[in-house]
Structure 1
Amino acid sequence: MSKERNLGLLLSASLVALAVTAGSSAATAACPAVTVADSMGISGEFPQQFELAEFQSKANCELSFSENPSIGDLNAMITGNGALGPVAERLPAEPLVVAPYNEIGQYGGTLEGLAKATESGTSDLLSLRHVNLMRYADDLQTVVPNIAQSWSWNDDYTQLTVELREGHKWSDGTPFTAEDVVFWYEDLILNDKIYPKTPGRWLFAGNPMKVEASSPTTVTMTFPVPTPGIVNRFATDYGQPFQPKHFLSKMHIKYNPDADKMAKEKGFEDWAAWLNSYYGGSDWKDVPSPMLKGTDRQVVPTLESHIVVEETATGRHMAANPYFHMVDTAGNQLPYINEINETYVADKEVQNLKITNGEVTYKQQAIFIEDFPLLKENEERGGYQVDLAPAIGENVFLAVNLTHKDEVLRGVFNNLKFREALSLAIDRDEINEVVYLDQGTPLQATPAAPGTVPFLTDEQTTYLIDYDVEKAKALIAEAGLKDSDGDGVLERPDGKPLIIRMVYSSQGVPVKLTELVRDYWGAIGIRVDIKEVTSDEYRADANNNDLDMTLWKNDGISGPTISQDVTSMIPPFGDYFNPGNGFGWAAWTTSGGSEGIEPPADVKKVYQLAERFIQLPTGSDESNKIGAEIVDIHVKNLWKIGTVGKPVGPVMHRNDLGNFKPYTAKTYDYYWAYPYRPNQWFLKQ
């Protein structure tokens, strides 16, 4: 964001203040209730939202503020919160003004949602209350302000200056300042008691950035290398680069010399264990989320639209944040919806039954195209609508474990001819028909999503996707594998039957797809034993390198994601929540060769290319050249084997959910509902 724009906003604010002082008609006129459906000729610099001064100037009015009539009762649910002052004092000096999609909403009601467990299928509901410094607009092209009021770069993309909103407050009414950003990075991310090893995603060419607060509302991030894509991370990522210093520092030894003593009195090993009982040792907000029990279990303050006020083994409950920083164009503080109820339902059939019974207000995660006929058939009975949205990152990959702890199996998997045979043995047209209702496209797995980057070629996305069982069998023979006893199952080099355990979670993979792949590979002599587990179990075993193969939706690969996070490009080709392959290679690299397994030359080359790729502006000639080379290496090695991409996926919402509009895309890569501004949804009374 340019310095000129910052100056323009300051001038606009000054003009509005002068108009108010002079008692002009502009200062006393009521503001028009602008919506996306009826803009009344008023548009802002960014789609569907305004800064307060900008809106008042363009609408020639002064906005007065109103609050949810139930906000006092909702505030009473938040442990540790005191009595509320007037809404104008709870808002920032420059609140973000949001134009609702269709109409000014109504306050009240509870949104009913589903997840599978404490951290299993939760990100969809998290995205309803999520905030970050920036956000993508629903065109999925434009980055717009959110927590940040503005931002600007130096010439070489090594220094990002972020301006926060004056007077912004945490959900307990404490001022939110630049010090909360510094605390997050310096005292949590870089603290080896919180993170024994600094998360790689917050290092840049292996080195930390420098985070400074030059004023209460100004944060400067200085990077050791050019990092132009970091804005995309702050616009799409679950990780919030701010934490409530006033709350967590009471448990931090740096700020409280008695923290260790107090921690032990409460039954914790030390101050870090005490702090982590709230912070969770992770930027992921609900892992693990503390059970809100006992007199001293306070709610961790947040900037989100809703805050967790109750948790049991069967679900979570959230109440509206009385200090949320957004208002609509009529001056009503958002969110409109009072409460969110999250119920844990692990069983897919029970999940779909609740939806078809009309018990669920909204859901998109963990419902697949295979669920669409059932959901569509019951729309009228359940009082909801289900739409199909283009899905990004839904191409389920299959990755045999190339650093397996079983050396014999590792040797089999590392034979490229074996992986080529696996790819050719898959009937992607049948998967498309049976699983995706002919709504997808057979595609190979790539570390960049088709349609979101300019450098992918058809040759790469269609590499070895033809269904050819005979050629697959020939490659198996070339790999030296035989069925010596004629029982239909190949033998490993040590004489044992070649069995692959396919452990999966239905949160990430349609059940029918696993059954089809089992049969396809069985036809070329590989016995596949499939077992469904929870996503928590799957992730734990995968990240411990205990699985024969990993399989999940190939997300985290959109253009905006890979511009700031090359996780999909380098081992283990995914993050904790979607682990890929090559854990031994990753361990070798991060340990400097003292642990793990030395990676082959192509993996080492990808590390070098990815480091350069992330330092380049997206779309530049050099960026495209390096991106194409990275994809080519991935595809030729089949570190992940793709199935069907570019599908559509169901998004359901109940008919009483107002200001809901069909999605541009269904994808984790833009953080589910986040671009569609769920804080302006409302429940029709």
Structure 2
Amino acid sequence: MNTIRTVLLSSVASLALSATAFAACPPVTVADMNGLTPDYPQQFELQEFEDKAGCELTFAANPDIAALNGEILGNADLPPLAERLPEEPLVVAPYDAIGTYGGTLRGMSKATESGTSDLLSVRHVNLVRYSDDLQTLVPNVARAFEVNDDGTELTFHLRKGHKWSDGEPFTAQDIAFWYDDIIFNKDVYETTPDRWLFQGEPMKVTVVDDQTVTFTLPVPGPGLLARFAVDFSQPFQPKHLLGKFMEKFNPDYEAALEEAGFADTAEALNWYYGGSDWKDVPTPLLKDADKAKATGRAVTPTLESHIVIADSSDGRRMVANPYFFMVDTQGNQLPYIDRIDERYAPEKEVQNLAIMNGDINWKQQGLFLEDFPLLKENEGKGDYTIAFAPTFGENVFYSFNRTHKDPVLAEVFNDKRFNQAMSVAMNRDEINEIVYLGQGKPMQGVPAEPKTVDFVTEENLNAFTEYDPDKANALLDEMGLTDSDGDGVRERPDGKPMVLRMAYSNQGAPVQMHELVRDYWGNVGIRVDLREVTSDEYRTAANNNDLDLTVWKYDRSVGPTIAQNPMGLVPPFGDFFNPGNGFAWAAWKTSGGTEGTEPPEWVKELYELSAEFVQKPLGSPESSEIGAKIVDIHVDNLLKIGTVGDIVGPFMHSNDLKNVKPLLAKTYDYYWAYPYRPQQWFLSDAK
């Protein structure tokens, strides 16, 4: 009897275990984790989820995905979902609820390449991501990652079976292709971008197998992993598409070029790639719609949640990627939202009216505190919520061109006294009250966001921030910049009126601030002529060294950014999208002294310190000691004169947009919405 009883109990236990193993998976959300603790916040790998939940996940697709796929030029009919997902998809725990499919996320930007990174971040993916605590690095496109002890080797493990949005396999070869054959391809980049060199030397990208790739750096680069979490750049390109136009990969490349209507490889690569790893460039649909249709491939395939299907001067439209690699904890393929429609409107009034009329689902970039009272008053009318979030990198700076093409202005701008005078001539308390509704703190510009590092001092932040027009006048008099004819405008050393042209884009800072600063400087005899331009015009002029001064927000300054990308620390003290000054110094450095202008000793010291800084782990005593020296040099020379920092910024979302979490920080420096997993947003009133 005991033997029979044991056998029966054993059979019952076996059946129970079997039932548990194949039970329906619980609807795990961040609000209710059902007792599960993931290895990384708010997400699981498939096997991890099934093991911890004691279930086998089954998968389901958007019922309209075939129709959406039909709108993607060049895509074939869809295979079953099991053939579209990776073998190990990323399992995402939504914030509040398992979502529903459908609807269109409606957004607004100023123009192509102007204010569009807000919506780009909604569909963005990269090898890794910062979790919404803005501290924890988590897998994204990569399934796993490893960094060796000295930060010279970074290995990524990819997802077996991952596919591009056209259904072709995505492998480690696509990462090596991006670096070896795009970044170092002179048909795309005449000179290799500095940001992808390490102490002037390239890294080595090694394909171990289809799912494993290793980056080997010539010097320690412990911050490289973070770059792939905060950077707009995506370190992968579709070799299967672009490689067919290259002799290296296709012996019949000339026939491929002829069939597609390209004159040569350079034209093909730049038509698809845009000559930039910035995803905001106009797509071929906008550049050449006829050729797009003729080639049957309108845009390069993507790994992102949505893919562009239409692009015009009025905006762009996207549909869900049918091969996207994420699912929720019920096995539903993400994204939930069918479409993204992005309209362009350069005028702030048009943007605010669209929000108040309920025509916008999500907006954070380009919303300023001065807009808040009006938008708050109309929340009910537009059925949206507008709230505040802390900001990083929002301190607006004014930076005079130290290597100006006009040698007289270059001499003036390099005089510390001029920069000190311009700084103390500004009434930051008034700026704070008028522009920021009293929500900020007068603050000098520093190259490291104080809330993300430990080496910025109060002395740094308060340097030359007192409002003292008498001191400003005295400093300018001491320089010999006098007003000899009494017209209220001082004269330059060559006798010409001291008149500066300030070109600005309203994407970079509130217009009201520029008007105040113009008046402050005018009151001490420096006349400023304001001219609003598009972001494209501003950036082009600045990078051509054609501006008297640059003005933008002090973004790209958080610890994880400067710890791996020193471009904001050395000439030209920024990048193409947020240029600073000292372009001729940068040319001297890049050319080895054969071009440009030799910089002063303090700039040479910045080059040396920055090279050391990026080789030390952020937060280490060595990193902080070097960082403090860099900040001191920047502040001593007032490279970027700051205004008001530590402010809050508004963001809004329509009330039918669900699974939206309050932002820990509103900032470009962590790439806007990327840490908050927009792929799990859904529209409760899908239309």
Q: What TM-score do the two structures reach when normalised by structure 1?
A: 0.96
For 1:40-55, what aligned pairs fall within 5 Å after superposition?
40-55=34-49
Q: Would the aligned equivalents of 1:48 and 1:99 in 2 still touch at CA under 8 Å?
A: yes
For 1:408-427, what aligned pairs fall within 5 Å after superposition?
408-427=408-427
Q: Would the aligned equivalents of 1:252 and 1:272 in 2 still touch at CA under 8 Å?
A: no
User: 1:283-330 CA deviation, whole Å, 9 max, x = no partner?
Assistant: 111323222623225131110000001111211100000110000011
Q: Please report how far the alpha carbon of residue 163 of structure 1 lies from its aligned counterpart in structure 2 after TM superposition.
A: 0.4
User: 1:116-167 CA deviation, whole Å, 9 max, x = no partner?
Assistant: 1111111010000000000001111111100011111222211111100111
Identify the residue that residue 312 of structure 2 maps to in structure 1. Answer: 312
Instruction: Give the one of 129, 138, 142 matched to 1:148.
Output: 142
Change (3 A) 1:67 1:265: closer
For 1:112-511, what aligned pairs fall within 5 Å after superposition?
112-260=106-254, 263=257, 268-291=262-285, 293-294=289-290, 295=293, 296-298=295-297, 299-511=299-511
Identify the residue that residue 80 of structure 1 maps to in structure 2. Answer: 74
Cα distance in 2 for partners of 1:637, 1:72 equals: 59
User: 1:204-245 CA deviation, whole Å, 9 max, x = no partner?
Assistant: 010000001111100011000011100110111110011111
Cα distance in 1 for partners of 2:305, 2:354 equals: 26
Cα distance in 2 for partners of 1:381, 1:154 equals: 55
Equivalent position amino acid for 2:92 in 1: V
Q: Would the aligned equivalents of 1:26 and 1:62 in 2 still touch at CA under 8 Å?
A: no
Identify the residue that residue 16 of structure 1 maps to in structure 2. Answer: none
Q: Please report how far the alpha carbon of residue 258 of structure 1 lies from its aligned counterpart in structure 2 after TM superposition.
A: 4.6
Equivalent position amino acid for 1:100 in 2: P
User: 1:317-355 CA deviation, whole Å, 9 max, x = no partner?
Assistant: 000001100000111000000000011111111111111
Q: Please report how far the alpha carbon of residue 22 of structure 1 lies from its aligned counterpart in structure 2 after TM superposition.
A: 12
For 1:542-553, what aligned pairs fall within 5 Å after superposition?
542-553=542-553
Identify the residue that residue 676 of structure 1 maps to in structure 2. Answer: 676
Cα distance in 1 for partners of 2:587, 2:440 equals: 36
Equivalent position amino acid for 2:265 in 1: W
Q: Please report how far the alpha carbon of residue 429 of structure 1 lies from its aligned counterpart in structure 2 after TM superposition.
A: 0.4
SS of equivalent residue, structure 1 residue 318: strand
Identify the residue that residue 638 of structure 2 maps to in structure 1. Answer: 638
Equivalent position amino acid for 1:631 in 2: V
Q: Please report how far the alpha carbon of residue 274 of structure 1 lies from its aligned counterpart in structure 2 after TM superposition.
A: 1.5
Cα distance in 1 for partners of 2:261, 2:139 equals: 42
Cα distance in 1 for partners of 2:653, 2:259 equals: 48
Equivalent position amino acid for 2:162 in 1: H
Cα distance in 2 for partners of 1:155, 1:229 equals: 12
Identify the residue that residue 514 of structure 1 maps to in structure 2. Answer: 514
Cα distance in 2 for partners of 1:592, 1:386 equals: 51
Cα distance in 1 for partners of 2:493, 2:79 equals: 74
Cα distance in 1 for partners of 2:656, 2:196 equals: 41
Equivalent position amino acid for 1:484 in 2: S
Cα distance in 1 for partners of 2:252, 2:408 equals: 54
SS of equivalent residue, structure 1 residue 343: strand
Change (3 A) 1:268 1:409: farther
Q: Please report how far the alpha carbon of residue 194 of structure 1 lies from its aligned counterpart in structure 2 after TM superposition.
A: 1.5
Q: Please report how far the alpha carbon of residue 465 of structure 1 lies from its aligned counterpart in structure 2 after TM superposition.
A: 0.4
Q: Please report how far the alpha carbon of residue 594 of structure 1 lies from its aligned counterpart in structure 2 after TM superposition.
A: 1.3
1:648 aligns with 2:648: yes
Q: Would the aligned equivalents of 1:51 and 1:95 in 2 still touch at CA under 8 Å?
A: yes
Cα distance in 1 for partners of 2:303, 2:112 equals: 21
Q: Please report how far the alpha carbon of residue 266 of structure 1 lies from its aligned counterpart in structure 2 after TM superposition.
A: 5.7
SS of equivalent residue, structure 1 residue 120: coil
Q: Please report how far the alpha carbon of residue 28 of structure 1 lies from its aligned counterpart in structure 2 after TM superposition.
A: 1.2
Q: Please report how far the alpha carbon of residue 253 of structure 1 lies from its aligned counterpart in structure 2 after TM superposition.
A: 2.8
Cα distance in 1 for partners of 2:76, 2:118 equals: 30
SS of equivalent residue, structure 2 residue 550: strand
Q: Please report how far the alpha carbon of residue 259 of structure 1 lies from its aligned counterpart in structure 2 after TM superposition.
A: 3.6
Cα distance in 2 for partners of 1:631, 1:673 equals: 29
Equivalent position amino acid for 1:313 in 2: S
Q: Please report how far the alpha carbon of residue 255 of structure 1 lies from its aligned counterpart in structure 2 after TM superposition.
A: 1.8
Q: Would the aligned equivalents of 1:20 and 1:27 in 2 still touch at CA under 8 Å?
A: no
Q: Would the aligned equivalents of 2:304 and 2:324 in 1 still touch at CA under 8 Å?
A: yes
User: 1:170-222 CA deviation, whole Å, 9 max, x = no partner?
Assistant: 11111110000000001111122221100000000100000011111000110
Equivalent position amino acid for 1:536 in 2: D
Change (3 A) 1:546 1:258: farther
Cα distance in 1 for partners of 2:70, 2:296 equals: 15
Cα distance in 1 for partners of 2:175, 2:455 equals: 35
Cα distance in 2 for partners of 1:276, 1:268 equals: 10
SS of equivalent residue, structure 2 residue 538: helix
Change (3 A) 1:228 1:436: same
Equivalent position amino acid for 2:203 in 1: M
User: 1:464-513 CA deviation, whole Å, 9 max, x = no partner?
Assistant: 10001111111111111100011110001111100010100000110000
Identify the residue that residue 531 of structure 1 maps to in structure 2. Answer: 531
Identify the residue that residue 621 of structure 1 maps to in structure 2. Answer: 621
Equivalent position amino acid for 1:89 in 2: E
Q: Please report how far the alpha carbon of residue 267 of structure 1 lies from its aligned counterpart in structure 2 after TM superposition.
A: 5.8
Cα distance in 2 for partners of 1:320, 1:442 equals: 44
Change (3 A) 1:88 1:227: same
Percent identity between the two aligned chains: 63
1:601 aligns with 2:595: no
Q: Would the aligned equivalents of 1:445 and 1:643 in 2 still touch at CA under 8 Å?
A: yes
Cα distance in 1 for partners of 2:245, 2:342 equals: 29
Equivalent position amino acid for 2:537 in 1: E
Identify the residue that residue 658 of structure 1 maps to in structure 2. Answer: 658
Q: Please report how far the alpha carbon of residue 264 of structure 1 lies from its aligned counterpart in structure 2 after TM superposition.
A: 6.4
Q: Would the aligned equivalents of 2:73 and 2:309 in 1 still touch at CA under 8 Å?
A: yes
Identify the residue that residue 14 of structure 1 maps to in structure 2. Answer: none
Q: Please report how far the alpha carbon of residue 661 of structure 1 lies from its aligned counterpart in structure 2 after TM superposition.
A: 1.6
SS of equivalent residue, structure 2 residue 146: strand
Identify unmatched segments of 5+ residues in structure 1: 1-18
Equivalent position amino acid for 1:511 in 2: V
Q: Please report how far the alpha carbon of residue 111 of structure 1 lies from its aligned counterpart in structure 2 after TM superposition.
A: 0.5
Cα distance in 2 for partners of 1:505, 1:529 equals: 14
SS of equivalent residue, structure 1 residue 388: strand
Identify the residue that residue 8 of structure 1 maps to in structure 2. Answer: none
Identify the residue that residue 102 of structure 1 maps to in structure 2. Answer: 96
Cα distance in 1 for partners of 2:408, 2:296 equals: 50
The count of residues paired between Structure 1 and Structure 2 equals 667
Cα distance in 1 for partners of 2:26, 2:42 equals: 14
SS of equivalent residue, structure 1 residue 652: strand
Change (3 A) 1:22 1:36: closer
Identify the residue that residue 15 of structure 1 maps to in structure 2. Answer: none
SS of equivalent residue, structure 1 residue 88: helix
Cα distance in 2 for partners of 1:374, 1:234 equals: 37
Cα distance in 2 for partners of 1:404, 1:539 equals: 16
Structure 1 vs Structure 2 CA RMSD: 1.5
Cα distance in 2 for partners of 1:599, 1:163 equals: 43
Cα distance in 1 for partners of 2:255, 2:420 equals: 59
